[in-house]
């Protein structure tokens, strides 16, 4: 007899309440709601052979049970390190007892052993919501993974990489994971392994950061991916839903080149969606085609401590931090624990820019901030100075270390503050930081369009007005 999903969800709440909060963080215990588990299981292809299913970090077994409802006959191997959850898991898989094994072991350790000794059959299917936790550089997990040829910085990528390597040819894997692997620089070896060993069949993203693990209050951008070991890479189905109810889901087939740009040495994985595609005429140019560059703010303050000037005075130069800018523009100098200026010296001068028109984007936005990209126009007329220091918490758009044309800078600021740009950026970037590399990799309107936006721009535009302005671009 199989359990229904409402019952599984009740057990999930019950088990959750019994978990030690420290263990929750230690083992990344955020369990999958049954609606998501069912969606994930539905992604497996109709099966031509008896299934051997892997579920690593199985929790109470929500994913394995959802998969067992799709796959007949199925033999399950599940790993769960936490004894409380393992109790639930064993009981939940009991109806399938003859065909299931619950391993009370560390999956990484067991999987690396299996791979080294080529023990056990290849799995035909794998379904995972792996633990999310950083792996220290000298940790046992890091070293074990390295033995299996896997270099990664987070347990989730280690779990997925091992599951991939344990799949039989044509075996399928469905996983829900954070999006950070898509373009995080440290995940490049993982991306290479994934793209070398598998074809990507499906990518699904949620609009809301909170939706997938709402019950656990997890603010994490998640992605569901389906891979086939050794599959021929064809078009990829990319889908998108406002939340984890999957209501209003939109899906479309895209050429693989839209997911991983041909020749991209970083092997970034993009998840373009319908809405974004509809805007492609706006996102048409690279920054270099526009003659614009972007860098992080050159002044790393702790290196110039000895030159700090709390307030401006003779022989100082303004030092601009993100707290100097808000919706109303520049407020400088400001009472703050950080200095407002630097004393001039050859050491300081190296990091200054001539006072000009720059577009400034905060590198770190608060998680709950409405937009990830928050851009400000630095207007040289608001600062009586020949040169200026932009602190390292900024990204600075410039032209050859000089200011930009004023109208172009205004247009670029309006563009960067538009909701459509923010949505596109979020789909591309899984992390909450805004890196200069991400801004460099983004596409922008033509120079003519930016100049048009710059001409139409008035001070104090509301979000709606900015979005309406962008919508007028044909
Ligand atoms: C994100 S939870 C997901 C649980 C379940 N797959 C689900 O979807 O509801 C990850 C699970 O992995 C388990 N875990 C963490 N580290 C593990 C390890 N090294 N080996 C086996 N299980 C582990 C945790 O105890 C936790 O139950």
Q: Which of 36, 57, 58, 81 to mutate to test the pocket of ligand 1 (most atoms within 8 A of CB)?
A: 57
Which residues, judged by CB distance below 6 Å to any ligand atom, belong to the binding site of ligand 1? 27-32, 57-59, 62-63, 79-82, 85, 106-108, 129-131
SS3 76: strand
Consecutive sets of 10 residues in the chain, 474 residues long: mean pLDDT of each?
A: 73 80 70 92 88 96 94 94 94 85 96 86 93 92 95 96 97 94 91 97 78 54 93 90 79 86 90 62 87 96 96 96 90 96 96 97 78 92 96 97 97 94 74 82 90 86 86 72
Long-range pairs for 230-235 at CB < 8 Å and ≥24 separation? 230/169, 230/170, 230/197, 230/198, 230/199, 231/170, 231/198, 231/199, 231/201, 232/199, 233/199, 233/200, 234/199
Which is the closest atom of ligand 1 to the Cα of 27?
15
Question: Domains of the chain: which residue ranges?
Answer: 5-275, 288-471
* Residues 204 and 244: beta-carbon distance below 8 Å: no
In angstroms, the CA 354 to CA 396 distance is 13
Nearest CA to ligand 1 atom 10: 131
Nearest CA to ligand 1 atom 2: 29
Nearest CA to ligand 1 atom 13: 57
Per-residue pLDDT at 195: 97
Alpha helix (H) ranges present in 220-342? 274-278
Chain segment 116-134, per-residue pLDDT in tens: 987 666 999 999 999 999 9
Nearest CA to ligand 1 atom 12: 57
Per-residue pLDDT at 150: 95
pTM, rounded to two decimals = 0.64
CATH fold for the domain made of 5-275: Rossmann fold (3.40.50)
What is the CATH number assigned to the segment(s) 288-471?
Answer: 3.90.220.20
Nearest CA to ligand 1 atom 27: 59
Per-residue pLDDT at 40: 95
* Residues 191 and 181: beta-carbon distance below 8 Å: yes
Kindly give the pairing relationship between strand 358-362 and strand 375-378.
antiparallel
Per-residue pLDDT at 1: 46
In angstroms, the CA 270 to CA 123 distance is 28
């Amino acid at each position: 007899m199989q359990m229904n999903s409402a019952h599984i969800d009740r057990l999930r709440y019950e088990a959750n309440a019994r978990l030690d909060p420290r263990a929750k963080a230690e083992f990344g215990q955020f369990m999958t709601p049954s609606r998501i588990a069912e969606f994930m299981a539905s992604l497996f292809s109709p099966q031509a052979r008896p299934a051997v299913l892997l579920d690593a970090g199985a929790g109470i077994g929500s994913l394995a049970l959802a998969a067992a409802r799709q796959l007949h006959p199925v033999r399950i191997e599940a790993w769960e390190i936490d004894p409380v959850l393992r109790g639930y898991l064993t009981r939940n898989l009991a109806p399938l007892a003859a065909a299931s094994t619950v391993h009370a072991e560390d999956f990484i350790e067991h999987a690396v052993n299996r791979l080294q000794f080529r023990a056990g059959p290849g799995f035909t299917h794998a379904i995972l919501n792996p633990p999310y936790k950083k792996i220290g550089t000298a940790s046992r997990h890091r070293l074990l993974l390295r033995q299996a040829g896997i270099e990664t910085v987070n347990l989730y990528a280690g779990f997925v990489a091992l599951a991939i390597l344990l799949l039989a040819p044509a075996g399928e894997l469905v996983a829900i994971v954070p999006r950070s692997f898509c373009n995080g620089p440290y995940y490049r070896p993982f991306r290479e392994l994934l793209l070398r060993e598998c074809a990507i069949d499906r990518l699904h993203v949620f609009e809301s950061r909170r939706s997938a693990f709402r019950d656990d209050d997890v603010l994490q951008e998640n992605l569901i991916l389906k891979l086939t070991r050794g599959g021929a890479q064809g078009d990829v189905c990319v889908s998108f839903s406002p939340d984890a109810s999957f209501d209003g889901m939109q899906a479309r087939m895209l050429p693989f080149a839209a997911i991983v740009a041909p020749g991209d040495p970083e092997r970034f994985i993009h998840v373009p969606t319908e809405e974004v595609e509809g805007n492609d005429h706006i996102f048409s140019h690279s920054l270099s085609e526009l003659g614009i560059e972007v860098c992080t703010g050159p002044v790393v303050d702790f290196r110039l401590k000895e030159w700090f000037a709390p307030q401006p005075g003779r022989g100082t130069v303004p030092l601009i931090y993100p707290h100097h800018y808000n919706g109303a523009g520049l407020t400088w100098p400001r009472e703050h624990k950080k200095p407002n200026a630097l004393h001039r010296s050859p050491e300081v001068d190296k990091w200054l820019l001539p006072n000009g028109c720059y577009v400034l984007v905060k590198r770190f936005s608060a998680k709950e901030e409405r937009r990830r990209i928050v851009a400000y126009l630095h207007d040289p007329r608001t600062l009586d100075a020949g040169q200026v220091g932009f602190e390292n918490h900024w990204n600075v758009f410039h032209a050859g270390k000089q200011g930009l044309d004023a109208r172009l800078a205004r247009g670029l600021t309006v563009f960067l503050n538009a909701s459509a740009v923010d949505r596109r950026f979020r789909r591309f970037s899984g992390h909450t930081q805004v890196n200069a590399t991400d801004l460099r990799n983004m596409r922008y309107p033509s120079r003519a369009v930016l100049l048009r936006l710059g001409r139409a721009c008035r001070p104090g535009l509301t979000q709606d007005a900015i979005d309406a302005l962008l919508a007028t671009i044909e």
